[in-house]
Amino acid sequence: MTSRIASFPARLQAPGTHDAPFRRACSVEEVAPGGMTRVTLDGLDLLLAHTPNGIYVTDDRCPHMSAPLSIGELDGCIVGCPLHEGRFDLESGDPARMPTTGGLDPDGVSHPTWSPAGREPKVDPPGKKAEARRLTRVRRFAYYPARIVGETIEVAIPVIEP
């Protein structure tokens, strides 16, 4: 399988990356097909996921509550969060399954809390925590432009001024 960079919806390109310089992230062999890795550049934690569509680069943070996705699971183009069992589509940037805590999807539609199969139904007693869960919005992914040069994956990241 030849490694390539996957395309992503242009509207979801990470802010500040349009004219950003490309920087070395890792070697192609460090992101095996079907695998994920975390790379940190200037304090920015990136997820590199090698899917059947190619390699996607996004923040290594769940768009729900910022858990590191790199320790989750990758199934095709769907990355699973290890914290609240949300599933996110790397191809579209959208949630494929809302987290167990429910909340607002990227379009503002409310989803209730839920329990995984085989577990007791989740009780969500009223109060500030329930209200916070109800108002927590799951975001779409923001993607970083990437390219393969030789055997190296390079990623465009914004220049952070001191």
Q: First vs last Cα of the chain: how many Å apart?
A: 41
Enter the DSSP assignment of 39. Answer: E
Only one residue has tokens 């890795």, namely 37
Q: Which two tokens stand for residue 141?
A: 């992914």
Rounded CA gap, 88 and 125, in Å?
27
Predicted confidence at residue 126, as pLDDT, reads: 84
- Spell out where 3-107 has E strands: 22-27, 36-41, 44-51, 54-59, 73-75, 78-80, 87-89, 95-97, 103-104
pTM, to two decimals: 0.90
Q: What is the pLDDT of residues 45-70, one digit of tens each?
A: 999 999 999 999 999 999 998 899 99
Q: Which of 28-32, 36-40, 127-131, 142-146 has the lowest mean pLDDT?
A: 127-131
- The answer to whether 68 touches 111, Cβ cutoff 8 Å, is no
Mean pLDDT of the residues in the chain: 92
- The answer to whether 36 touches 49, Cβ cutoff 8 Å, is yes
Predicted confidence at residue 120, as pLDDT, reads: 81
Q: What is the pLDDT of residues 113-143, one digit of tens each?
A: 888 888 887 777 788 988 888 888 999 999 9
Q: Would the pLDDT of 1 be above 80?
A: no
